[in-house]
Each structure stands twice: as C-alpha cells, then as structure tokens.
Amino acid sequence: MVAVTALLGGAPGAATATPLAAPPVPVLSWGPCDGADAGDPGDGFECATARVPLDYRRPTGRTIPLAVTRRLAADRPHRTGVLVLHPGGPGNSGVDFARDSYEALPASLREAFDVVGYDMRGVGRSGQVECWNDKEYSAAVDAARGVPAPGALRTAVRQGLDFAHACTERSADLVPFIGTGSNAKDLDLLRQALGEETLSFYGRSFGSYVGTVYAAQFPRRVRAMVLDGAYDPRRYADVPYAYDAGQFVALDAAVGRFLDWCAQNAEACGFGEGRPRQAFEELKRSLDADPVITASGRPATGYTLAYRLMFNINSGQEVWPYLGEALRAAQAHQGSFLLSPPSPASFDFLNVNMAVECADRVYPAGRALLGAAVSAHVAAAPLLGPPIGLGPPTYDHNHAPTCSQWPAERPSRYEGSYRAAGSAPILVLGTTGDPDTPYQDAVALAGTLDGGRLLTFAGEGHTAYNRSACVSALATAYLATLALPARGTVCADETPPEPLSHRTTGIGVDETRDVIPTLH
C-alpha cells in the first residue's frame, strides 16, 4: 500500500486537505544558565526555554518546553550566523554537548557563529522519558551475562515487551511524539525564534539523522551541514533488521581488530599473552561465574565488560593500550572502567535511546521473524553479539525485541524522501573502521542526498571531526566558507596507539555524555 500510494502521488483526499495552521514561533527569554549567578557571566553561555507543539498535527494545541543554550559569536561585527551542535544518542543532552564542546571548536567557528544547543524532546531538561525505573534496570543488567544461558532469547523478548509497555504507561503523553520528524520541526522553530533565515549544523551519530531529516523537511533553510558518523536513513527507518545486522558486524569487527593488534603487540597491549581472543572469551565466562562486586555493591559480570567495551571501542586506536590495561585489570578482579555497571544516569540515557528509535523505526511484526533475525545477528558477531543482542533493552544493537513489539502510535516518525532536494551541499563524514555507524552508511547517505559530498577518514573509532586534523580542517573550512573538499578525499591521519604514559581524554567513555574531542 505504501508503494502504491507513493507511485500515485499521495493518499486519496490529500489535495483537498485543509492546511494546518503554522505553530507559533517560540519567544526566547535569555538569562543565566542553571547554577550561574545573574551577575556572573560564567562560561559565557546563556539559557532559555522554547515552547513547541507536543503534536504537530495540532500545531496550536498543547506545548512542551525545550531547554536551549547559546554562546554569542566572539567577533560580533563579522558574525556569520548560528551553528547548531547536535549530539549523538539519542539520549544525550544537546545543552551539555554545546557547552562541553565549545572550547574544542576551532577559533574561526567560535568567532563567526553563535553556538547553539538544545535538549531535544524527551531528553533531560526537555522532559525526560521514563520507561524502566532505576530499580528495574539495575535488576535486568545485573542479571545479564557475557555468555548468555540457553533461553536468553526468550528472556530478551519478554523484557522487550515489558519495557515497551512501561514506556507507554509511564510516559504515555510523550512517547508517541518524540520521533525525529517532530524533533526536526522543533529545530526549525528554534531557527525562527533565533531570527535566522538559515542554519549551519553539525550533527554526530544520531545527530546526523536529525540533520538529514531537517534538510529533507526544510531544504531551503540549510546554509551548511556536517553529518558525522552518518546513518543510512532509509535502512535505519524502514529496513531496521538489515540496519541492525550491519551494526553488529561493524562492532564485532572493530573489537576483533583491537584484539588482533593485541596478538601482534603483546607487550604494548598487555592482555591475552598472545591469545587475546581466547583470553577475552575466558574472561567473560570468569566474570559471569565470579562477578566483581563494585563500590556501589553491584556485580560486574561478563555482560558489564561487553557493555562497556561497546562504548569504549569508539575512541579508536589511540586508546587500545588502555583497553588492554583495563582488560588485564579485569582479569585480576581489580578496578577497571570496563567493570562499571550502568548507572542511573545511564538508565536515563537508555530509556530515551530505546524510546526514540522505536518511535522512528518500524520493525516487521512477528516473534518468529524477531527470533530468527536476532539469532542471525548474534551468530554473525561472536565477540559481543551474544551479550548485547540477547541482553536487556539498552543500546542500538538490541532494539529489535522492544521496537518490534512497540504498542504506541508513531505520528512523529518521518516518512518522506531523504533527498533534501534544493538544499545547500551537505558534507557527510564517514570513518572506515567505525564500530557504531558503519562506513557504508556514510557512503549511502552521501549518495541519497541530492547535494551530498562524502569525506572519508581512514581510521578506527566512531565519528571523525577533531579526531583527524585533516578532517577537522576541511570540515571547518566548509562550515566557515562553504568550500567543499574535493570529491573522493580521504584523510588518513589517525592518532596511533598511545603509550600508557600518555593519558588521553578518550578513556572510560561514558554513554551519558557526548562531546567533540579536543584535536591533538
């Protein structure tokens, strides 16, 4: 029916439908941010609240508040406009992302742009979604194992259904309306509230999907857009089992490359004594049988190890020696950032991560298909696939057991074309060894967008901006001057594995906090 409708040019009656009224433009009253004195400029940021429609089908109806922050361009006489920074997730705070990333931006951008961030609907200061509470989440992740027992798939499906019902019971008024179609409309209302004709935008990971949907809905409002660690939008939204399969393979391949480096660099890695893959499997089983009791009193199992490695592998080669050190500490049942159970702050992030993606994506119904797909994903990714794919509802890779049983409406899901016809050129950044958003997704997005231009980072890790001096220079020049890099440009300047004496900021990556890294 969808295909036929598309071929016929729209649903019957669409041509005579009454146009919706335009939603009111929010009024932004800027003032000190939380914790700042009225007389103290603090970090230079100011904050406001934007009220936007809950349901864009009723644009003048009930509203919800969005937390917004900005720091004005340092060089006011030569100001270019607004640069919106959108974090990954979904679930990370855009307010925190803008404030925490500001100093990592090149001076040319800080001087020319008002830097703006906002907590999207359902996140943090903009109305936190709750599905499972802290007690329920703690019980589920503490019981999970690095080597799941027989029957784990049935448990995952049952937990997915329980999580889905909890979302619609505890956040019933919000959950149908947290999809990216509505988030992108919020962004355009913010543009109007800021008094801008067009926006410049940097979005990383999930933020790249927000940028894609924004450009698709409002192509003439894009001045410049950088989409880093990009999604293949059509597969993500409409063919989710296939999209998930790619994520499982990319994650396992990245962990495998790290373990292969350990095998070839036993002294620098310090884990596995030349047999790191076998040692990793043994470590998961050992922690399952004899969990480390952490300072919080909660157990760290093989599942905890897999969960933390899933995020920390995103930092690329420079942290590989630190991952080896952390794995060795875990073997000795000593303190390790890889043995840190998800916290209440993590649960806030994960609630949103799951709920937004279930609002955005339509999985085919049916438990037989669900079981077959998840089993195939797990089999294709033997290192982390079993604990992540058969574990409780958490991050991207295991959304299928929840989203395939999602009971809520999806009126905020975006269902249109992703071409962004008429938009200014859009720069897509793809990292060849990205564990989270496979490089092929960036290739697909650049080819989907009418004005897409791909810039490749030949390296490990998730996203590219400020992890590569080459990528950073080219992307910054584009944002500042609209000059695109030449077609086919590849940057290959990843920071190599750092000696343990060179502590970096990429250690102990926390899924609840996104930040643009400082360029080395």
Pair (228, 95) in one structural domain:
yes
For residue 35, pLDDT over 90 is answered with no
Pair (462, 388) in one structural domain:
no
pLDDT of 502: 73
Pair (264, 294) in one structural domain:
yes
pLDDT of 162: 98
Residue 10 lies in a domain: no
Pair (335, 456) in one structural domain:
no
Pair (178, 312) in one structural domain:
no
Q: Peptide bond before 90: cis, by omega within 30 degrees of 0?
A: yes
pLDDT category at 509 given cuts 50, 70, 90 is confident
- Smallest Cα–Cα separation from 191: which of 25, 403, 393? 25
Residue 466 lies in a domain: yes
Residue 344 carries which side chain, given as an amino acid letter? P
Pair (182, 294) in one structural domain:
no
| Pairwise CA distance, residues 97 & 512, whole Å | 11
pLDDT category at 36 given cuts 50, 70, 90 is low
Cross-strand bridge partners of residue 63: 53
Residue 294 lies in a domain: yes
pLDDT of 506: 61
Residue 47 lies in a domain: yes
| Pairwise CA distance, residues 282 & 431, whole Å | 31
Pair (277, 324) in one structural domain:
yes
Residue 5 lies in a domain: no
Last residue of a domain, one of 375, 404, 433: 404
Q: What would the DSSP string read from start to end of 415-470?
A: -S----TTPPPEEEEEEEE-SSS-HHHHHHHHHHSTTEEEEEEEEESS--BTTBHH
Pair (331, 263) in one structural domain:
yes
| Pairwise CA distance, residues 196 & 194, whole Å | 6
Beta strands in 208-346 (DSSP E): 222-228, 292-293, 299-300
Specify whether the CB–CB gap between 516 and 101 falls below 8 A. Answer: yes
Residue 256 carries which side chain, given as an amino acid letter? G
Pair (488, 377) in one structural domain:
no
Residue 117 carries which side chain, given as an amino acid letter? G
The pTM assigned to this predicted structure is: 0.94
CB atoms near residue 136 (< 10 Å):
16
CATH code for the domain in which residue 486 is found? 3.40.50.1820
Residue 376 lies in a domain: yes
Average pLDDT value over all residues in the chain = 93
Total residue length of the chain: 520
- Smallest Cα–Cα separation from 214: which of 195, 191, 235? 191
Parent domain of 50: 31-130+174-232+413-502
Pair (189, 211) in one structural domain:
yes
Specify whether the CB–CB gap between 509 and 88 falls below 8 A. Answer: no
Residue partners of 13: CB distance under 8 A and separation at least 6: none
Number of domains in the chain: 2
Residue 6 lies in a domain: no
Pair (65, 210) in one structural domain:
yes
Specify whether the CB–CB gap between 12 and 4 falls below 8 A. Answer: no
Pair (179, 88) in one structural domain:
yes
For residue 40, pLDDT over 60 is answered with no
Residue 9 lies in a domain: no
Q: Give the distance between the most distant pair of CA atoms in the chain.
A: 72
Last residue of a domain, one of 385, 404, 423: 404
